[in-house]
Every structure is written in structure tokens, then in C-alpha cells.
């Protein structure tokens, strides 16, 4: 258990981060990551309970398996004037809930679990809603909390969407 | 009311002059006929052998709207069966992949072996008293035929389909660019990504069959992200590039060697391709060695596509006339160094996956190109497919129907011509006559 | 397999030990007890009924996993030493016969009294 103060600090950080994504403020969002960050959203397979390989693994295909440089590349596309699918703008909603905060064995690092709901309204009538569980390692830096590691496990084996033109 | 058997539609009045009837993307009756005459007859890609490494390995996939269970049997051979219990029709395998001793239906406990035979039932005494119960005849329904080509597993529901080698025909010359550029053969990197597009499956398939044109426009932002500039112009008069097709299978390409691969933005991949170029040339000849990672795209008729260089392999699974389920994998050479294989896994993810900077801009185009046909008047307006009408050439080396120039609609026309021939032909023999 | 069976009083010689190396199973059809299963678990030989108590499958077609046999039809599992059913769908135990290795042969007591004693 962490103090109410730390919990509140993490909560405020995640809410702020979600608002940056809702408002497509991608360069500011990238500033919330540590230089050595790993951002991983594995592909989820529909496998049996007894299957020792599990529904996702580092060696398998992923939606994101990114370093900070990889994330920057994606942001270049988002912000390019020729990113046709971004105009008209997607109507993003990033919901973060079920937040749990734990100390870790590493000084200055917190393990933060949360649930995300990501809704996107696109064009006239299109929308997509994705659900997932998130596990972050947040690190204390002189600039404040920063994301050192993020794992998002989506609750979908077949993504109910044509793309993921956002971050989680 | 039904247009599915409208001969004018199925011959696509005007395709030879470069026009396509929009009803092919919209009509339910056309779609039903596609399921019968294309997906229940053609050879369809179902797996890469590497996905079934040992006896008991299985995966489930689609052949048209039929769910199919593909299994490595105890004797090492591969089988494929309808994933539906002959008792009440329930799926007998509910996982997408894994390893199993066999498959027991959750409904009444009918148990099937890896070879599809019914091995036993729950409450067997009751069945034992029943003269109509013939256990030997109640196995899972197998596909009509299954065969492989250099690691790729194909199956057909039609016992009268030509052998796979004939179905692919001279297109194997091109397939070898990806499947046989290294002595060790190929494998799929782990896992698969599946997503849903609100488009007709053919819009995606024809894009991979021939649409080099869209790359520079649709994907300008993706190219900016990955290589820091736009896609090179591909349509110069003297461009050394081609549309080739055979039996409806299509490959558009230039000979720049690494243009597609470069979009992955990973030096390890570029170095691997360069280091191997000479060896590949010894294996496949100079020309095909320059196709391994070049700006190109491919569709194996009807719905199996890939991109040399990015190495994304995918099927467009039909889910009604206006919906497609996309399954993707990444192909690598088995003998490539582990870090190169992983670079390709990541590179395909960064470019051509639902989160990829290229694929991100395809879906909306295809969805709206499908949906606009909902309008009855819109649907009456034919679509222009006329580029490259006089580009057919004889080439000393390249087999099949060869067209000069990558900015071309020749392959798309060939795709729809094959499509229309199959829809009109009641039998494979009739198909030969409609050529 | 029938020809391998030789009567020696109330004991039955089922097979040569060499026919069932460690980790392997063998089905032997006997006059006294019908088809029986000979299983070699790391050098210890167990003899049980071969027919699954759930749905008539031959356990010899199944898998030997450690000291358990797994039925090939519905994956019922039995402990080979005791015959105890370990999971769904089996509920009734497997009959276990006292067995020994003598002169390189697997020998079991298949008489009804022996069956009752073991179950």
C-alpha cells in the first residue's frame, strides 16, 4: 500500500496523460516517457487454459513493442498533414479506472495497475471501443513521474476495429 | 431481384474497356455466389507448416465462412476438417491455436482424433444399442484436398479442383522469390494479429494485387514517419516495373531490390538483404533477386496477400459483402539470425498492422469505397479500372501475363476477370472454356 | 497378443518385460480378465484393466504421463498403482492386478479373488 498522497499523485498523472491523448497532444505525451521506456501492447490469442504458451508472449506479434524512438516515429505520422485518416479528427476518449499503486523493489519506481477503456468516434457514424488492462512502471524523476514501462493487454483476440490510430 | 446470376454483371460489362460494376462490392446475392463458387472451390491458404511444429499442433481458420480445424496428425501429415461436430454441429475446437491430443465436443462429449475420426462418445452404451449409429462414418468432415507449396499449406473443398501446382501454375516462379530465396526455407514469426474492416474483401485483395498507385498518396504520412520522405514516384515512362498475373494471382513490382524493406527503417534488415543478394541471385537469378524486398505487392487468388520486404502475410476473410476479418502473420527465412527475424516481426508491426503507420490509412478508404455503394444511384455508376490498357508485353524471362509499368490496373482487371469466370462457371471444365 | 499368454496356475504371464520398456504401455488380451494394460512407470510394472471405466476406450491407445494413464477418448486419468480415477469424466476406479517381474516376464494374478483384493 502506498500513501493517499502518492495514490492521488498517480491518479492525477494518469488523468493528465489521458487528456493529452484525448487532445492529440502527442509531443507532450512523449515527454511523459523515460528515455529507456518500453511500450508493449501484445497481440492476444484465443488459446485454451491448459495451453502453456499463454495468450501472449514477447516473441509473438504485437500491436506495439516500442522503444521511445519507435513511439516518436508513430507520432511523426499522426502529425503529418498527409495522415488522411486523421482528418476529420478522431474523437478520442481515454478512460482510466481501477487504479492500484504499489511500491517496487527499485527505489523511486511504482507499479501501477489500471483498466482502460478507449473509445474513438470517427467520420460520421464510425466508432470503436477497446478494453484492456494496463500495468505501468512509473519512475520518479526531477521532472516528476515518468513512464518507464507500460504493458497493455487488450481484451480482444480479434480487434473489433480497423486500426489503432491512438495510444493507450 | 437477384443480381447474383445476372450474366451482364458477372461478365462485368466493360471490364475489357476498363470499367467495373459496383454491384460486385455490395450485393448479397453476389456474395452468396462467391462463397459457393470461389471459396468452396478454390485452393485457399490455411497455414504455414511452421505453425504446426509437432503432432497435435493445431490452428483454426476460415475457408470462406466455413471454420476449419488444421492439424498436424500423429504420422506427421497435415489434415484439415470442418470444425463442426456431426452430431449437433457445435464447434469441436474453440481455441485459435495450440496443441491437443484430440478434440472433444463440449456439447455431448463426442471425441475426435487428430485424424478426424470419431474415437468415442459419452454414454457409449446407448449408442451401442443403436443400429443407425455407425461410428466409422461420423468423423469430422475433411477438406477435399490439402497440399503444400514450399511451406505454405493450402486446402480446397472441391474434389474436382485442379492440383495445387496447376492452380498456382507459372505463378510459382514468382512465389519462390519469397518462399525459396534461402536454402533453409521460411517460417512464420510467432503469433498472429486479427482485426475487422468494414469493407468488401475484394477491395483489399485487389489493392494487394496491383495497387502500387495508392502507395505514394495514401501512405505519404507513413513513409514520412519511417523513411523521412514520401514514396518515390513509380510511374515514369521508363520505370523498370511490372504487373504480372497468372490464373488470377497477381504480383506488381519494380526491381529496386529493397524499396519495401526500407520502409521498416531497420538497418539489420537492410544489411541482411544486401549480404544475401548475391546468394539469392545464384539461387533465383539476377532479376528475381531484385524482387525480394522491392516496392511490390501480391495477391494469391482469391484472398491471400503479402508484401515482399515488409513480409506481412495476410488473408482477407469474408464476413458478408461489407465486412472482412483480416488475419496477419510475418514471414521470415528460417535460417535468418534471430535478431533479423525479430526486426521483421517489429517492422511489420510498425508498418502493416492495425497500429502500423501505413495500414492506418488503408482501412477508412476501403470502408468508404464499400459503403458508398449503398446508394442505388451511386451503385449504377461504373468504376474506372482503365490504367495500362496497352501495356501487355512479352518478356524473355517473366512468365504469365506481363504488363510493363507498376502504375497500372492490369492486375486488378485480371483479378476481376478470374473472379467473374469462376462465378459464371458451374464446373472447373466450364472455367477452362470461359477463358 | 493372445499367443503370449501362458497359464501358470493362478498366475498369468502377460509379456516379456522387454516388450514394455519404461514409459511404455501394452495391451494384452487374457482369458481370465479380458484386455489388460501393462504399463512400465520408471521400471515399476503396473497391470490394470485396459478398458476405460467411462466409455469403453482402450487405455493402451492413450498416453502414459508419469504414474497416470490418460484415456485417448475423453482424457480421463487414472492412477496406475491404485486404479483411482483422477478427473472427469471417469468416476469408477480401474481394476488393478497384483503384478511382478519374474525371469524377465511380467506376471500377474488375474483370478477373481485377486481382482477383489485389489479393488
Place of cell 477463358: B435
B37-63: pLDDT as tens digits: 999 999 999 999 999 999 999 999 999
Where is the domain boundary, B147, B181, B203?
B147
Question: Do B177 and B137 lie in a common domain?
Answer: no
Q: C74 — contact with chain B (CB < 8 Å)?
A: yes
- State how far the Cα of B288 lies from the Cα of B177, in Å rounded to an integer: 6
Per the CB < 8 Å rule, is B120 touching C89?
no
Q: Are residues B140 and B185 in the same domain?
A: no
What one-character DSSP code corresponds to residue C51?
B
In this prediction, residue B2 carries a pLDDT of 44
Distance from CA of C10 to the nearest CA of B (A): 32
**Average pLDDT along chain B:** 95
Domain identity same for B129 and B238: no
C-alpha cell at A114: 489500471
Question: C65, exposed or middle or buried, with CB in 10 Å at 0-12, 13-18, 19+?
Answer: exposed
Q: Does the pLDDT at position B16 exceed 90?
A: no
Burial letters for B353-383: b for 16+ Cβ neighbours within 10 Å, e otherwise? bbbbbbbbbbbbbbbebbbebeeeeebeebe
Q: Does B364 touch chain A (CB under 8 A)?
A: yes
Of B100, B218, B355, the CB nearest to A84: B218
Query: Is pLDDT above 90 for C7?
Result: no
Partner-chain residue, chosen from B101, B109, B121, that has the shortest CB–CB distance to C72:
B101
- By CB atoms closer than 10 A (0-12, 13-18, 19+), residue A143 is exposed
- Determine contact: B316 vs chain A, CB below 8 A: no
* pLDDT value of position C115: 44
C73 touches chain B (CB under 8 A): yes
B319 in any annotated domain:
yes
Q: Is residue B247 packed enough to be buried (19+ CB in 10 Å), middle (13-18) or exposed (0-12)?
A: buried
Confidence (pLDDT) at A1: 63
Same domain, B336 and B295: yes
Q: How confident is the model over B291-318, as a mean pLDDT?
A: 98
pLDDT of residue C56: 85
Q: Distance between CA B18 and CA A117 in Å, rounded?
A: 46
**Out of A45, A83, A160, closest to residue B196 by CB:** A160
CATH code for the domain defined by A4-46+55-154 = 3.10.450.50
If asked whether residues B365 and B218 sit together in one domain, one would say: yes
Which residue of B lies nearest to A44 if distances are taken between CA atoms? B193
pLDDT number for residue B238: 84
Question: Residue B113 and residue C72: Cβ atoms within 8 Å?
Answer: yes
pLDDT of residue C11: 87
Question: Is the per-residue pLDDT at C40 higher than 90?
Answer: yes
Total tally of structural domains belonging to chain B: 2
For B33-86, give the DSSP string.
HHIIIIITTS-EEEEEGGG--STTEEEEEEETTEEEEEEE-TTS-EEEEESS-T
Q: Per residue in A121-152, pLDDT tens?
A: 999 999 999 999 999 999 999 999 999 999 99
**pLDDT at residue B430 is higher than 90:** no
Interchain CB contact of C81 with B (< 8 Å): no
List the grid coordinates of C25: 504401455
The C-alpha cell that represents B253 in the structure block: 513490382
The three three-digit cell numbers of residue B346, written as one number: 517489429
Q: Which of A45, A47, A72, A121 to mutate to test the interface with B (most CBs of B within 10 A)?
A: A45
Q: Domain of B109: which CATH number?
A: 2.102.10.10
Residue B4 has pLDDT above 70, yes or no: no
Task: Kindly list the domain boundaries of chain A, sorted by start residue.
Answer: 4-46+55-154
Distance CA B16, CA B390 (A): 11
Query: Would you call B168 helix, strand, or coil by DSSP?
Result: helix
Q: Is B193 in the same domain as B62?
A: no
Report the distance separating Cα A163 and Cα A159, nearest Å. 8
Architecture field, domain C2-110: 3-layer Sandwich (2.102)
- The verdict on residue B33 lying in a domain is no
Test C57 with B123 for CB contact under 8 angstroms: no
Q: Which of B283, B294, B362 is nearest to B328 (CA)?
A: B362
Q: pLDDT grade, residue C119 (50/70/90)?
A: very low
Q: What DSSP character marks residue A73?
A: H
Active-site positions of B? 108, 211, 214, 219, 362
Question: What is the pLDDT, as a whole number, of residue B433?
Answer: 67
pLDDT on residue B13:
63
Q: Please tell me if residue C56 touches chain B, with a CB cutoff of 8 Å.
A: yes
Chain A interface disruption, residue of B228, B343, B364, most A CBs within 10 A: B364
Residues in B closer than 8 angstroms to C72, CB to CB, are 101-102, 113, 119
Instruction: Compute the average pLDDT of residues B249-272.
Output: 96
pLDDT of C111 reads 73
Domain of B353, in residue numbers: 172-433
Amino acid B412: pLDDT: 97
Please give the interface size between B and C, counted as residue pairs whose CB atoms are below 8 Å apart. Answer: 31
* DSSP string covering B278-327: HHHHHHH-HHHHTTTTSSEEEEETTTEEEETTTTEEEEEEE-STT-EEEE
Can you tell me the distance from the alpha carbon of B314 to that of B331, in angstroms, rounded to the nearest whole number? 10
- The CA–CA distances, whole Å, from B377 to B23, B83, B320, B373 equal 11, 41, 22, 8
Task: For CA atoms B166, B169, B171, B174, give the dihedral sign.
Answer: positive
pLDDT of residue A5: 96
If one counts every other C-beta atom within 10 angstroms of the C-beta of residue A5, the result is 8
Ramachandran area for residue B337 (φ above 0: left; ψ -120 to 50: alpha; else beta): beta
Indicate if B333 and B291 belong to the same structural domain: yes
Smallest CA–CA distance, residue A39 to chain B, in Å, is 13
Helix (H) or strand (E) holding C63: strand C63-65
pLDDT band at B8 (very low <50, low <70, confident <90, very high): low
Task: Examine the pLDDT at B5 and tell me if it is beyond 60.
Answer: no
A62 vs B contacts (CB less than 8 Å) = 191, 193, 345-346, 349
B287 in the same domain as B375: yes
Quote the CA–CA distance of A112 and A10 in Å, as a whole number: 8
Q: State the chains in contact with A (3 or more Cβ–Cβ pairs under 8 Å).
A: B
The answer to whether the CB atoms of A74 and B325 lie below 8 A apart is: no
Note the pLDDT of residue B3.
45
Average pLDDT over chain C reads 88
Q: Which residues of B touch C63 (CB under 8 A)?
A: 101
In this prediction, residue B17 carries a pLDDT of 86
Q: Name every chain B residue with its beta carbon within 8 A of the beta carbon of A26.
A: none
| Single pTM value for the model | 0.93
Q: What's the pLDDT tens digit per position in B368-383?
A: 999 999 999 999 999 9
Answer yes or no: do C56 and B124 touch at CB < 8 A. Answer: yes
| CA geometry: angle A60, A65, A67, nearest 5 deg | 150
The closest alpha carbon to B121, from B77, B172, B168, B87, belongs to: B87
Residues 89-108 of C with CB under 8 A from B: 89
What would the pLDDT profile of C16-35 be if each residue is shown by its tens digit? 999 999 999 999 999 999 99
Confidence class of residue B232 from pLDDT cuts 50, 70 and 90? confident
Q: Which of C55, C59, C88 to mutate to test the interface with B (most CBs of B within 10 A)?
A: C55
User: B104 to chain C nearest CA, in Å?
Assistant: 7
Q: Domain holding B310: CATH number? A: 3.90.380.10
Interval B401-405 mean pLDDT: 97
List phi, psi (to 5°) of A129.
Answer: -125, 125
For chain B, list the contacting chains (3+ Cβ pairs, <8 Å): A, C
Q: What is the pLDDT of residues A30-53, one digit of tens each?
A: 999 999 999 999 999 999 999 999
- Please answer yes or no on whether A162 and B328 come within 8 Å at the CB atom: no
Indicate the angle between helix axes B267-284 and B338-351, nearest 10 degrees.
110
Q: How far apart are CA B264 and CA B262, in angstroms?
A: 5
B354 domain residue, yes or no: yes
Q: What is the rounded distance in angstroms from the CA atom of residue B414 to the CA atom of residue B420?
A: 10
Digit-coded pLDDT (tens) for C57-114: 999 999 999 999 999 999 999 999 999 999 999 999 999 999 999 999 999 999 754 4
pLDDT at C1: 37
Amino acid at each position: 500500500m502506498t500513501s493517499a498522497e502518492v495514490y492521488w499523485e498517480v491518479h492525477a498523472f494518469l488523468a493528465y496523460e489521458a487528456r493529452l491523448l484525448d487532445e492529440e497532444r502527442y509531443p507532450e505525451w512523449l515527454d511523459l516517457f523515460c528515455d529507456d521506456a518500453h511500450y508493449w501492447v501484445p497481440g492476444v490469442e484465443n488459446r485454451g487454459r491448459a495451453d502453456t504458451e499463454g495468450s501472449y508472449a514477447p516473441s509473438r506479434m504485437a500491436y506495439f513493442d516500442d522503444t521511445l524512438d519507435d513511439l516518436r516515429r508513430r507520432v511523426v505520422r499522426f502529425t503529418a498533414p498527409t495522415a488522411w485518416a486523421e482528418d476529420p479528427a478522431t474523437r478520442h476518449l481515454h478512460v482510466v479506472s481501477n487504479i492500484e499503486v504499489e511500491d517496487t523493489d527499485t527505489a523511486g519506481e511504482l507499479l501501477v495497475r489500471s483498466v482502460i477503456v478507449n473509445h474513438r468516434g470517427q467520420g460520421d457514424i464510425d466508432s470503436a471501443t477497446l478494453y484492456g488492462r494496463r500495468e505501468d512502471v512509473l519512475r520518479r524523476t526531477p521532472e516528476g513521474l515518468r513512464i518507464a514501462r507500460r504493458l497493455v493487454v487488450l481484451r480482444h483476440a480479434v480487434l473489433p476495429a480497423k486500426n489503432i490510430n491512438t495510444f493507450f | 431481384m437477384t443480381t447474383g446470376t445476372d450474366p451482364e454483371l458477372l461478365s462485368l460489362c466493360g471490364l475489357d474497356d476498363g470499367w467495373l460494376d459496383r454491384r460486385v462490392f455490395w450485393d448479397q446475392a453476389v456474395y452468396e455466389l462467391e462463397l459457393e463458387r470461389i471459396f468452396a472451390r478454390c485452393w485457399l491458404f490455411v497455414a504455414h507448416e511452421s505453425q504446426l511444429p509437432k503432432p497435435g499442433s493445431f490452428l483454426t481458420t476460415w475457408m470462406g465462412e466455413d471454420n476449419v480445424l488444421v492439424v498436424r496428425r500423429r504420422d506427421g501429415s497435415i489434415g484439415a476438417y470442418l470444425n463442426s461436430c456431426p452430431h449437433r454441429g457445435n464447434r469441436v475446437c474453440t481455441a485459435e491455436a495450440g496443441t491437443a491430443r484430440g478434440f472433444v465436443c463440449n456439447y455431448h462429449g463426442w471425441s475426435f482424433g487428430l485424424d478426424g475420426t470419431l474415437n468415442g462418445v459419452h454414454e457409449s452404451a446407448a449408442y451401442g444399442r443403436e443400429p443407425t449409429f455407425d461410428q466409422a462414418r461420423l468423423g469430422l468432415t475433411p477438406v477435399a484436398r490439402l497440399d503444400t507449396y514450399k511451406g505454405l499449406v493450402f486446402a480446397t473443398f472441391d474434389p474436382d479442383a485442379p492440383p495445387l501446382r496447376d492452380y498456382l501454375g507459372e505463378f510459382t516462379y514468382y512465389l519462390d522469390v519469397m518462399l525459396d530465396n534461402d536454402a533453409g526455407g521460411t517460417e512464420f514469426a510467432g503469433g498472429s494479429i486479427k482485426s475487422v474492416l468494414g469493407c468488401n474483401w475484394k477491395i483489399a485483395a485487389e489493392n494487394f494485387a496491383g495497387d502500387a498507385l495508392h502507395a505514394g498518396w495514401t501512405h505519404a504520412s507513413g513513409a514520412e514517419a519511417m523513411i523521412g520522405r514520401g514514396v518515390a514516384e513509380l510511374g515514369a515512362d521508363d520505370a523498370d516495373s511490372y504487373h504480372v498475373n497468372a490464373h488470377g494471382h497477381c504480383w506488381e513490382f519494380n526491381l529496386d531490390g529493397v524499396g519495401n524493406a526500407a520502409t521498416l527503417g531497420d538497418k539489420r534488415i537492410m544489411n541482411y538483404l544486401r549480404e544475401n543478394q548475391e546468394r539469392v541471385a545464384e539461387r533465383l537469378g539476377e532479376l528475381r533477386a531484385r524482387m525480394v524486398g522491392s516496392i511490390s505487392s501480391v495477391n494469391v487468388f482469391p484472398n491471400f496477400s503479402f508484401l515482399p520486404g515488409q513480409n506481412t502475410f495476410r488473408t482477407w476473410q469474408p464476413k458478408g459483402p461489407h465486412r472482412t476479418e483480416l488475419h496477419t502473420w510475418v514471414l521470415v527465412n528460417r535460417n535468418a539470425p534471430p535478431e533479423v527475424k525479430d526486426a521483421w516481426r517489429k517492422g511489420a508491426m510498425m508498418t502493416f498492422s492495425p497500429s502500423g503507420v501505413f495500414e492506418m490509412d488503408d482501412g477508412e478508404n476501403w470502408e468508404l469505397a464499400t459503403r458508398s455503394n449503398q446508394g442505388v444511384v451511386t451503385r449504377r455508376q461504373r468504376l474506372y479500372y482503365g490504367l495500362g490498357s496497352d501495356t501487355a508485353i512479352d518478356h524473355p524471362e517473366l512468365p504469365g501475363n506481363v504488363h510493363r509499368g507498376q502504375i497500372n490496373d492490369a492486375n486488378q482487371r485480371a483479378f476481376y476477370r478470374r473472379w467473374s469466370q469462376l462465378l459464371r462457371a458451374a464446373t472447373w471444365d466450364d472455367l477452362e472454356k470461359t477463358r | 497378443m493372445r499367443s503370449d499368454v501362458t497359464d501358470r496356475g493362478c498366475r498369468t504371464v502377460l509379456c516379456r518385460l522387454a516388450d514394455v520398456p519404461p514409459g511404455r504401455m501394452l495391451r494384452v488380451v487374457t482369458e481370465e480378465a479380458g484386455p489388460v494394460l501393462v504399463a512400465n512407470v520408471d521400471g515399476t510394472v503396473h497391470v490394470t484393466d485396459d478398458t476405460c471405466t467411462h466409455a469403453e476406450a482402450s487405455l493402451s491407445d492413450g498416453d502414459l504421463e508419469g504414474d497416470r494413464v490418460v484415456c485417448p477418448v475423453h482424457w480421463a486419468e487414472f492412477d496406475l498403482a491404485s486404479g483411482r480415477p483422477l478427473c472427469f469424466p471417469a468416476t469408477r476406479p480401474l481394476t488393478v492386478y497384483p503384478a511382478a517381474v519374474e525371469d524377465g516376464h511380467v506376471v500377474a494374478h488375474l483370478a477373481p479373488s485377486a481382482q477383489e483384493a485389489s479393488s
